Amino acid sequence: MEASGSISSTNSYLTTIRMFHKFLKCKKIGLKKLKRSHIEDIILSDWVNLLKPATRVQRLILLRVYLRWLYEHGKTRFPGDELIFLTDFPKIPQYLPRPHWALLLMRWTGIRIGELVAITYDCVRYDDNKPFLKVELGKLKNERLVPLDTKTLWLIKKIQKRSLATYRSICT
């Protein structure tokens, strides 16, 4: 299992480096001329911007490490930390897990599959101490609040608790 993880990591690293150098070549930018404005162009480019947030974070981390290496070897004027800021990294959304509990949530609330997929971690809203499920834009092109009964609220909290535990285990 480690071998496949290493190969996958190596491939991600090589893909990132190749795309970076291809971008520099297309824009006719030498490594010694590289500056923050060029990195901003990269961040806004399709090869980074069209990726999912987690993949964008991974690519930016790999690029930042590579830029550090280039700086340490005298190939660039600025280290990676001065070219790629922490604020450049997108926020990774926390989605609810999608197993059978999600299907039960659909059944109990009447939401559609597309709405279920778009539900975020902080989907419960309260109005006069009454819980509601915030449903993002869907088929009807509008947001709506679905009233929640006690058992449905319990189910959502159970899903959130499991989601948080899974997230913590991945991050540690």
Mean pLDDT (whole number) for 9-13: 85
Same domain, 6 and 84: yes
pTM for the full model?
0.54
Same domain, 126 and 151: yes
- In the listed set 66, 88, 110, which residue is the last one of a domain according to the structure? 88
**CATH number, domain with residue 152:** 1.10.443.10
Same domain, 84 and 139: no
C-alpha closest to that of 111 among 133, 141, 142: 133
Same domain, 131 and 160: yes
159 belongs to a structural domain: yes
Number of domain units in the chain: 2
Supply 119's token pair: 């539900």
Same domain, 6 and 75: yes
- The whole-angstrom separation of Cα 85 and Cα 36 is 9
Same domain, 77 and 112: no
28 belongs to a structural domain: yes
Mean pLDDT (whole number) for 111-136: 88
94 belongs to a structural domain: no
- In the listed set 38, 60, 88, which residue is the last one of a domain according to the structure? 88
Structural domain boundaries enclosing 113? 100-171
Mean pLDDT (whole number) for 71-82: 94
- The whole-angstrom separation of Cα 154 and Cα 34 is 53
For 58-124, give the secondary structure using H, E and C. Answer: HHHHHHHHHHHHHHHCCCCCCCHHHHCCHHHCCCCCCECCCCHHHHHHHHHHCCCHHHHHCCECCCE
Q: Which of 72-81, 87-96, 143-152 has the lowest mean pLDDT?
A: 87-96
pLDDT in tens, 81-109: 999 999 998 888 776 555 678 888 999 99
Same domain, 20 and 66: yes
C-alpha closest to that of 117 among 131, 103, 132, 107: 103
**CATH number, domain with residue 58:** 1.10.150
pLDDT band at 140 (very low <50, low <70, confident <90, very high): low
112 belongs to a structural domain: yes
51 belongs to a structural domain: yes
Same domain, 17 and 63: yes
93 belongs to a structural domain: no
pLDDT in tens, 13-68: 898 999 999 999 999 999 999 999 999 988 888 777 778 888 888 999 999 999 99
